[in-house]
């Protein structure tokens, strides 16, 4: 059974940084691309970033380019999202996804 | 970016009723359209992929259709356990995935 468990969320002040993790199990993590997707309160889903299996290809939404960094450690079956220069509009539930499988999400709140 | 317009945003229907949800893309997405169900507090679950393919284990009352820019999810006979939010996902412009805004479905 595919399981994706996010962690690392919380309350952070604007301009600060936060790093999310996603521990994957139930499939051969190193063989698949992975994604981060978010949903702001009361809003729709927004794709954030994707990374290929070997990290050779990385893509970002324009809204986070230059501020967020997606990475992975295939030895640890873990996906990461390093978020810097956080803004109030980054407040959202962040999902790790190996489509069509999603984690439960982790909440990030950016507020002073 | 491809925009996905989903309708209606809210739907109330009776048990046994036929229900239809719609997603319209801002350009041709070549049938790369998936439908997900998300129940409160749970991760989204895939129902239909590539417009009309039923995902493993999904009841046959769910079906999808469409082409070009217009896509539909149909529940042939609404059941109480179908109460959820449903959203579409277009993958034609991968990796720039875009989503419909969701339809919240309740039982009348």
Percent of chain B with pLDDT over 90: 94
Write the residue in A35, A61, A102 that is nearest to B44 by C-beta: A102
Residue A19 has a pLDDT of 98
Tokens standing for residue A81: 């999202």
Contacts of A107 in chain B (CB under 8 A): none
Q: Torsions phi, psi of A51, nearest 5?
A: -140, 140
Query: Is B99's CB within 8 Å of A46's CB?
Result: yes
Q: What is the mean pLDDT of residues B24-30?
A: 98
Mean pLDDT of chain B, nearest integer: 97
pLDDT of residue B41: 86
Contact residues, chain A to chain B, C-beta under 8 Å? 4, 35, 37, 44-47, 50, 59, 61, 95, 99-105
How far apart are the C-alpha atoms of B47 and B73, rounded to whole Å?
9
Is pLDDT at B4 greater than 90 in this prediction?
A: yes
Buried b (16+ CB within 10 A) or exposed e, B67-92: eebebbbebeebeeebebbbbbbbbb
Q: List the end-to-end C-alpha distance of chain A, in Å, as a whole number.
A: 40
B10 half-sphere exposure, CB direction, 13 A CA radius: 1
Give per-residue pLDDT as tens, A50-90: 999 999 999 999 999 999 999 999 999 999 999 999 999 99
Q: What confidence tier does A1 reach under pLDDT thresholds 50, 70, 90?
A: very high
Provide, as residue numbers in chain A, all residues whose Cβ is less than 8 Å from the Cβ of B55.
Answer: 100
Each residue of B39-55: pLDDT tens digit?
988 889 999 999 999 99
The pLDDT score that the predictor gives to residue B23 is 98
Indicate whether A17 pLDDT > 90: yes
**Average pLDDT of the residues in B10-22:** 98
* Mean pLDDT estimate for chain A: 97
pLDDT band at B90 (very low <50, low <70, confident <90, very high): very high
- Is B83's Cβ below 8 Å from some Cβ in A? no
Nearest-Cα residue of chain B relative to residue A102: B43
pLDDT above 90: residue A48? yes
């Amino acid at each position: 059974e595919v399981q994706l468990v996010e962690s690392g969320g919380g309350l952070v002040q604007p301009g600060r940084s936060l790093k999310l993790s996603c521990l994957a199990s139930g499939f051969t993590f190193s063989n698949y691309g992975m994604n981060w997707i978010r949903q702001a309160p009361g809003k729709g889903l927004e794709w954030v970033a994707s990374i290929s299996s070997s990290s050779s290809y990385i893509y970002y939404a324009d809204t986070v380019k230059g501020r967020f960094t997606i990475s992975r450690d295939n030895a640890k079956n873990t996906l990461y999202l390093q978020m810097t220069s956080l803004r109030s509009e980054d407040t959202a539930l962040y999902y790790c996804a190996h489509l069509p499988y999603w984690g439960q999400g982790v909440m990030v709140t950016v507020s002073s | 970016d491809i925009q996905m317009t989903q309708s209606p945003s809210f739907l109330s229907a009776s048990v046994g009723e036929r229900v239809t949800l719609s997603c319209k893309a801002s350009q041709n997405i070549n049938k790369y359209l998936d439908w997900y169900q998300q129940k409160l507090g749970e991760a989204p679950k895939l129902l239909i992929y590539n417009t009309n393919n039923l995902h493993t284990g999904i009841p046959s009352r769910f079906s999808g259709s469409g082409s070009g820019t217009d896509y539909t999810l149909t529940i042939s006979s609404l059941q109480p356990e179908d109460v959820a939010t449903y959203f579409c996902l277009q993958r034609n412009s991968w990796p720039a995935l875009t989503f419909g805004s969701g339809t919240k479905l309740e039982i009348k």
